[in-house]
Structures are given as C-alpha cells and as structure tokens.
Structure 1
C-alpha cells in the first residue's frame, strides 16, 4: 500500500511540475520574429516624395464683353476642347455682316469694270488715227504729243484705280477674317483635361480682356522625390524605385526614375527627381506625401532581415527562448529590408516588433514568423 501511495504522490508531483513549467512558459511575453534568410539585397537611396499636379493655369479671355453662358463650376472636371464660357458676340456679328456686304459690293464693282478703262481704249483708238494723219502731214506733231500724254495719263489713272480696288478688296477680306477671329475668341474652350479649382466670372458679368476667369488644375500628376545632396550623384534615369505613400499605409508601389532636375532647392539643398510610379491615376491625389527608395545596386544570395528589426547597429535575436542583443554589420539597405554582412546566421530569429519592450536575457515565447 505504501509503495502504491508513493507512486500516486510521484505522479501528482510530476503533473504539478509539468503544469508549473507549462504555466510559466505561457506567461512569457510573445515575441514577433522573422527568420534570417538568404535573398537579393538592394542598395537604395532614401527620398521624400510628394504628389502635385503637373501645372495649373489661369483661364483668361482675349475678348471682353458680357458673359452669356458658362459651364465653369468649382470642383468640376472638364475635358480638353470643352466649351467653358461664352461672351456676347452680337455686335461683332453685326460688324462682320457690314464688312461682308462691303466686300461683296467691291467684287461686283470690279466685275462691272472701270469707266477709265473705256476712256483709255477710246483715247488709244484716237491716238492711232491721229498718228496716221500726222504721218500724212494732216495733223501737227504738237497735237499728236498732246494726245499721247492724254493716253499715258489715262493709263496711270487706270493703274491707280486697279491698285486701290485690289487694296480695298484685300483689306475687306482681311477685315472679315479679323471679325471672324474676334467672334471665335468669345467662346472659351478648355485647353487641357483639368479640374476647376477657382471661378471668378459668372453669367451676366461684364468682363474685360485678359481678366482671369478661372483656375484649371491639370489632370497629369507628378511624383516628386526630394534627394539629399550626398545621394544625388548616384541617381540616373531608368533606375527602379519603391514608393510608399502615407495615405495608403504599408502598400508599396514600383516606379522608375523618369527625370532628374540638375539644380537643387536653394533653401533645402535637396535635388528633385521625377518618378514614374505604377499606380492608378485616380489614386495620385495632389498633396499626397510619402517616402521612396531609389535602387542603385543589388547583390544576390546574401542574408537579409526586415529593416524594422534593426536597433541602430544591433538586433534582438531569440536563442533558446532568451533575448540576445547582437551587433551586426549592415550592407545594402532598402525601404523594407537590409543586408546583414556579419553578426547573424541563416535561420536565426530576430524580433521585429516592439523592440523597446525587450532586454538582454528576457525569456520570450516565439510566435509564428510574420509573413510580410
């Protein structure tokens, strides 16, 4: 009986001890970790990014007058070639009608012909007769010279009339084109696809020439990356980039360097790089900001860890259930990952979240590595 009692007691003690160890293990803080793995590390230069409209423009009229129609509405989207505003053109059309009538009349007068031309033909016929009479001695040379001068005078008069007539017709034709152009200017069309961000003229307003009527914000968006002076020299067109916007959380977008501006901002001494980002245009809202990594180099088959696991030049590794602070040598760094040249081995576990909550030799319970 005694031996059997001892066995029962031993079993109970073992269960209590196992339960104590299990309870102690369960009370350990959880540590979110990542596995040190091999992969491709990239060298990326950091940059701050901002989204802005390609440009904005003031809509102005070359013609003054009364606004009789307008589709300018604050916040409205307009398309290139769309009629935005119409100015009263009644007076201009009346002037065009008057000038057109004068032009038609001038053409009719030219078709009828000049009386001077008839006088010249008569004078030339008379001169031929007087010339024959003079050759026969029946007409004096003095009178013949007078007849010749009369013919030359009529020729000059006819030539002047023709010049004046052509000048009048040409001038009226030009005037017609000018009037038509003035009428065209009373209709204002959108030169670009844009959003209306300001309106200062409405139906019934009397506007003057060149007065600002509205502000149009171009639909095209630019993603500007601002790069520090020490990093600028390594950037060339065509390099890949990883972009993250604050408004879209951890979502990442890829892009390429499209343009590199050669001058720095005189206040910040930072250079501007234009990125072509693969993102739906509707999501590129002016004013959106974020960060980017412009990739300037890469190395394959090296050890990499998440960048968020770094504490300066240290990481917190988990070995045998305890936290170990290890010094590491970093290599290439990108927006999310960093190459580890030394200090860690493949397969090591490094803590990735709440790093400030852990100390050397703390006991922790490892949870499933984060899949990010």
Structure 2
C-alpha cells in the first residue's frame, strides 16, 4: 500500500526549493551587483542658446491690387515668375473704358477744331474774344476728360512696381476683382529673412546683432548662419512670445515658407566638460568607483536638451551612470555594461 506521507513530503520539499530560489533571486536583486550603463565625460564647446522655430520669408512682400473693380480678362504671370519693374502682370476687362477713350478723343478733336476756327475769327474781328475764350475752355476740359479716362483705362492693367518674384496668386481669369483685392503678392527689393517667435521668458537675453544658427528639416545636414536684425517691441499676450527677425548671411537653398530651427547664441565656452543631460539628477550624478556607486554633487553650467556643462564637481575622468534609476544607493555594488558614451 502506497505511503501517503511521502507525496506530502515531496510537495513540501519542492515548495521549500521554490521559496529558496525566490529568496535568492530577491537577495541578488537587492544586494547583488546592479547592472548600469556609464558615459564618460567629453570636452568640447558649451553653447548657451535660445531655441525657437521660425519661417523663411521675403523681407519685403507687396500685395498687388487694382484701384478699380472689374472682371479679370488676362493674367500674364503665375506663382514663381520673376518679373521686372513696369511689367504687365494682369489686365481687367477695359472694353467699356476703351469706348470712353474713343469718345473723349473725338470730343477733343472737335473742340480743338472749334477753338481754332473761333480764334481765327476773333483775330479778324468777326468774333468776340469772349467766344474764343469759351471754345478754349471747352478744349481744355476735353483734354482733361481724355486724360482721366486714359488713366482709368491704365488702372485696368496691373503692373509690377519693382523687380521681384511672384510668391502668391489669388485671381482667376473671368473672376470679378474688387478694388483693393490683391491678385498677386510680390517678393522684392531685399534678401530672404527668418521670422521667429521667442518665448517671453527668454526675450531679455536677445540682442540685435546676436549670432544665430539655423537648420531646416527640408535640408538635412545643412547649417545656415544669421544674426538678429529686429526685435518687435510689443509681444503677443496670448502666445506669450515676441517676434524676432533674423537676417541670413547666405540663404543658400532656403526657400520662402520653409520652417527652420533657430538657435540664438547667447554665450559659448570652449573646452568645457560635458555630460549627457540624462545623467544629472538634481544637480548631482552617480559615479562608478571600482565596483561601488558614489553620489557626487556638481555645479552645472550651460544646459541644452542633450548635454550639460559641468563647472565644478568633476574633472572629466569619471565614469558617470548614464541613466540613473530610483534603485541606486550610496556604496551599492554595480556591474558596468555597454551603454551610451
């Protein structure tokens, strides 16, 4: 007959082994070497910069609109076209005004002939001088009327006020254009610039002439230099920002409308001690000395999202825990594993 005690003992033995394994694993996690990744400090330039996003735009943008209303009869250029000063860009339908010009020209011809006849008769004494003056006044009025309708007809043609590039077109042939309604936007007269929004907390550190380093996602790997040209005196109370204009040293491949990342350089120190920003916890770092952890306070300097300058507390030879967790403790044993440098 099987002994009922033996299965019970085997079960208790298995449970004891499992408990011992769990206790051992817990003890290993608690007191065994903790795996950590370390990052050696580097030396290089520490740049104190104000980060902002901006947009490339022309320095001068002129909306071009007719003085009078009418149907758009012709458009000779489109977006991206390079134009010259005085070039006809579009015409409104001027059929009615063309008829008015012909009518006024005929009236002027008639009034001139009448005045010439009256002046000749007055000179011979067959007509009073007052009558001759009246015909002269009528002739002058006809000349003024002809100039007026010609000017109105000329207003139907939209001309380029300067050399430049058409960066926007809003009118379609056949569309009625109201007086003052922009048909084109002309970029002219000056190179491209960048307009950036600076947080109100940083605007006190921005100065005209300050160097700026720019990068565009559309042009990876390329860096553009610029400088602060203008700072708007009034901020946006809703966005809590100020608008800053940045002059480009050389626009290169930048194009109107591109978004750029702008770093306004406030200060720069060469040969600074740098470490990853992720390694700093409350102005302190964890250092691996032999196989033990040591917490050391530091005096940070220039900060960026990626790196932090160390002014005091480290000499550059230390191995610093790259990403310290909550389980680190003073004097705890660690095992260094591969990680970011």
> Is residue 196 from structure 1 mapped to residue 176 from structure 2 by the alignment?
no
Distance 1:324 1:178, change over 3 A: farther
Equivalent position of 2:236 in the other structure: 265
Higher helix share: 1
Equivalent position of 1:363 in the other structure: 336
**Larger-gyration structure (1/2):** 1
Equivalent position of 1:119 in the other structure: 125
Query: Does the 8 A contact of 1:83 with 1:188 survive in 2?
Result: yes
> Is residue 275 from structure 1 mapped to residue 281 from structure 2 by the alignment?
no
Equivalent position of 2:53 in the other structure: 49
Structure 2 unpaired stretches of 5+: 1-33, 329-333
RMSD: 4.1
Tell me, in whole angstroms, the C-alpha distance in 2 between the residues paired with 1:322 and 1:365.
17
Among 46, 49, 66, the alignment partner of 1:61 is 66
Equivalent position of 1:5 in the other structure: none
Query: Does the 8 A contact of 1:65 with 1:87 survive in 2?
Result: yes
Tell me, in whole angstroms, the C-alpha distance in 1 between the residues paired with 2:242 and 2:254.
25
Alignment of 1:288-327 (within 5 A): 288=259, 290=261, 292-300=262-270, 303-305=272-274, 308=277, 310-312=279-281, 313-315=283-285, 326-327=296-297
Query: Does the 8 A contact of 2:38 with 2:319 survive in 1?
Result: no
Aligned length: 294
Tell me, in whole angstroms, the C-alpha distance in 2 between the residues paired with 1:35 and 1:105.
96
**TM-score, reference length from structure 1:** 0.62
Equivalent position of 2:108 in the other structure: 103
Alignment of 1:187-226 (within 5 A): 187-190=157-160, 193-196=165-168, 198-199=170-171, 201-203=172-174, 205=175, 207=176, 209-210=178-179, 212=181, 214=183, 216=185, 218=187, 222-226=193-197
| CA deviation after TM superposition for structure 1 residue 270, in Å | 1.9
Q: Deviations over 1:195-254 (max 9, x none)?
A: 33644x324x4x264274646475875523333333322321001123344555675443
Q: Deviations over 1:121-160 (max 9, x none)?
A: xxxxxxxxxxxxxxxxxxxxxxxxxxxxxxxxx8xx51x3
**TM-score, reference length from structure 2:** 0.66
> Is residue 173 from structure 1 mapped to residue 146 from structure 2 by the alignment?
no
Tell me, in whole angstroms, the C-alpha distance in 1 between the residues paired with 2:48 and 2:253.
31
Query: Does the 8 A contact of 2:66 with 2:182 survive in 1?
Result: yes
Tell me, in whole angstroms, the C-alpha distance in 2 between the residues paired with 1:31 and 1:278.
43
Distance 1:244 1:303, change over 3 A: same
Query: Does the 8 A contact of 1:96 with 1:179 survive in 2?
Result: yes
What's the secondary structure of 1:86's corresponding residue? strand
What's the secondary structure of 1:283's corresponding residue? coil
What's the secondary structure of 2:336's corresponding residue? coil
Query: Does the 8 A contact of 1:70 with 1:86 survive in 2?
Result: yes
Among 79, 90, 97, the alignment partner of 1:85 is 90
Distance 1:84 1:338, change over 3 A: same
> Is residue 184 from structure 1 mapped to residue 188 from structure 2 by the alignment?
no
Equivalent position of 1:230 in the other structure: 201
Distance 1:69 1:227, change over 3 A: closer
Query: Does the 8 A contact of 2:63 with 2:185 survive in 1?
Result: yes
Structure 1 unpaired stretches of 5+: 1-27, 121-153
Query: Does the 8 A contact of 1:36 with 1:349 survive in 2?
Result: no
